[in-house]
Amino acid sequence: MPRMTNDELKELIEKRIGKLGMSIAPDTKWKIINLSKGLPSYVHGLGKFSCFKALERSSTSIVEDDVDSAIDNFIESSQQSFKNAYEVAVRSNQPGNLFKQVITSCALAKADDSGYFTPVAVKDPLSAILRRGIGIANFQNHLKEFSTKKRGEILQRTGEERSYRFRFREPGMQPFVIMKGIREGIVDDKARLALSFPEQPDLFPIEH
């Protein structure tokens, strides 16, 4: 699934919205772009549902609340394979398991141009989600499991032990997981606000 640059996605949104005779607030535009992670299909989907939400308000101006409301519609309309893959990845009968929190942190982790991230990059998002410091040893097994058939191989793993890198097997799963995290309250208001800026700050800065 090819990724587009932020400038390309920005142009795409502005052209489509302009053809509809509608307008979109700058923070709203960047929220759609940052949620989409470079994938044009996500920009199209979120943009479409955000337009619908604005029209439901009898407005031609799309605002951030419209995007927030559109997330539910987007998740419901997503490929069933994504929904199934997510459920397989996080399914557990063990109380207090962290599979949802860890996979959400993976989706928010800083990655290289090929989409690969390290366990170190998962540490800060997960610590912020759990509201306590957490070491790599506490979620290392979760990362390994996510690359097994038991968890649907939602992640790919490369490298050697102690230098493993991971990425989502299906690029579209990354933004899907972020939106699931928003919908289920795993991604907090502070992180959601960070999505509304062109130069996106750390979603989960750790306060010392």
CATH code (residue 60): 1.10.8.60
66 is a domain residue: yes
Residues 66, 27 share a domain: yes
202 lies in some domain = no
Residue 90 to residue 146: CA distance in whole angstroms: 9
Does any domain span residue 208?
A: no
Q: Which residues of 51-79 are buried (b: 16+ CB within 10 A; e: fewer)?
A: bebbeeeeeeebbbebbbbbbebbbeebe
Is the same domain home to 149 and 177?
Answer: yes
Let me know if residue 135 belongs to a domain.
Answer: yes
The CATH number of whichever domain residue 96 belongs to comes to 1.10.10
For the chain, the residue count is 208
Dmax over Cα atoms in the chain, in whole Å?
56
Asked if 87 and 68 sit in the same domain, the reply is: no
Q: Judge whether 205 lies within some domain.
A: no
Separation of alpha carbons 9 and 132, rounded Å: 36
Overall number of domains in the chain: 2
CA 21 – CA 169 distance, rounded (Å): 38
Among 32, 57, 77, identify where a domain stops: 77
Evaluate whether residue 200 is within a structural domain: no
Say if residue 65 is in the same domain as residue 98. no
- Please write the tens of the pLDDT for every residue from 128-150: 899 999 999 999 999 999 999 99
* Final residue before a domain boundary, out of 42, 77, 112: 77
Strand ranges inside the chain, DSSP E? 23-24, 61-62, 155-158, 165-168
Q: 3-state class of 185 per DSSP?
A: coil
**In a 3-state reduction of DSSP, which class is residue 142?**
helix
Write out pLDDT tens, residues 19-74: 999 999 999 999 999 999 999 999 999 999 999 999 999 999 999 999 999 999 99
Question: Are 88 and 140 contained in the same domain?
Answer: yes
Residues 26 and 106 in one domain: no
Q: Which domain holds residue 20?
A: 6-77
Same domain, 85 and 181: yes
Could you give the CA distance from residue 161 to residue 151 in angstroms, rounded to a whole number? 20
- pLDDT > 70? residue 208: no
Contact 169, 81 (CB under 8 A): no
Do 90 and 60 lie in one domain? The reply is no
**By C-alpha distance, which of 108, 88, 197 is closest to 150?**
88
pLDDT tens-place string over residues 66-115: 999 999 999 999 989 999 999 999 999 988 899 999 999 999 998 888 88
* Average pLDDT of the chain to the nearest whole number: 90
Residue-level pLDDT at 206: 44
